[in-house]
Amino acid sequence: MKSDKKTQNFNWCEYMLTVLKRTRRQWPGNEKLFNGPIALDILFEIKEHAFLYRYAAETMRPGLEITGEVINCWSYILNEEEKRRSKDNKSPRFFCTIRMLALPNCDKEESENKGKMIKAFTMNIEKILKGAKLKSIKDFKIILVPILHIQHFFVISFNLEEKQIFIIDNSAKEETNESKYGNVPENTRDALAAYLKSVGHEKADDIKGIIPVRMQMKWRTQHNGIDCGIFTMRHMECYKGEPVEKWDCGFNVEYEVPANIKKVKNKKPVNKQTAQLEDLRRKFIAKILLHEINEQRDYVIEDSKTFRDLSAKLKKQSYETSLDRIKDRLALAGLL
């Protein structure tokens, strides 16, 4: 799972006791390294709008699939940074969160009832506007909507000025849009069009009949089933409406075959994106946790001092065992 929606039904008392017993048995005796059930403290928060529990933030560790809550927090940060860009910005962007077609306290997005879809989209976009301290969506030229569909993240770009809808997906697997995305792009388009019309946006009618097109970026992947969330965050951050042939967000192609591969026995192609994606994971989570809009920023800074004060040996020991501890917590929370 990539969401914590089921946490409200989870037996957290049993979880706490289980983790306490297990981690106490594994504790080497140094009080600074005891790692009990701390996964429920909040590391990022915009009150009543966005929050990120520790266990969700920990999915930014390389090798794990991130949760949708990470992307939601990222959207608020991108909206804040877009506000600060120069007033000469010709293509201001607005960033939505995932599950724009889901009504409050509902785990599934609406896919059949058009009225409920529009209602959900309207409620969610108004919530984002309020949380981002924005008055209206009318001045934005590009609207970016991150999507979670069948455990896969991607983003849909609505370029209102150019009348274009692009599906920006790191996956290069050959499938029809219908088989890969279902009716999600069209439902999102129709709900956005209805919302724009309700607020008197001049481009509301223009996007109704536009067919979503899947972007063919050169860095798309065939063999990566883990990092779709990281690709989505990067695509949201750097796409500003360019045509695909002029857009470069810094990714290498997935595999690059060395020129001398025939001369070296058993030489395998090298994945040129691995280090880039791991670096982005570190940069993104640092930016989220340390951003000034994070109401828990001071707590994060204070909490990090504990780790900084450890000896080099204990830091290494803590890092080497961190992935197993994180996976244990996620598994117990039903998120792995």
Provide the percentage of residues in the chain whose pLDDT is more than 70.
82
In tens, the pLDDT along 146-164 reads: 999 999 999 999 999 999 9
In tens, the pLDDT along 4-31 reads: 445 555 565 665 555 555 444 444 444 4
Q: Give the pLDDT band (50/70/90) at residue 92.
A: very high
The identity of residue 239, as a single letter, is Y
SS (H, E, C) the chain: CCCCHHHHHCCHHHHHHHHHHHHHHHCCCCHHHCCCCCCCCEEEEECCCEEEEHHHHHHHCCCCCCCHHHHHHHHHHHHHHHHHCCCCCCCCEEECCCCCCCCCCCCCCCCCCHHHHHHHHHHHHHHHHHHCCCCCCCCCCEEEEEEEECCEEEEEEEECCCCEEEEECCECCCCCHHHHHCCHHHHHHHHHHHHHHHCCCCCCCCCCCCCCEECCCCCCECCCCCCHHHHHHHHHHHCCCCCHHHCCCCCCCCEECCCCHHHCCCCCCEECCHHHHHHHHHHHHHHHHHCCCCCCHHHHHHHHHHHHCCCHHHHHHHHHHHHHHHHHHHHHCCCC
Fold entry, domain 68-271: TATA-Binding Protein (3.30.310)
Q: Give the pLDDT band (50/70/90) at residue 260.
A: low
- The ranges of the chain annotated as CATH 3.30.310.130 are 68-271
Phi, psi (rounded to 5 degrees) for 44 = -140, 135
Task: Give the span between the Cα atoms of 315 and 166, in whole angstroms.
Answer: 44
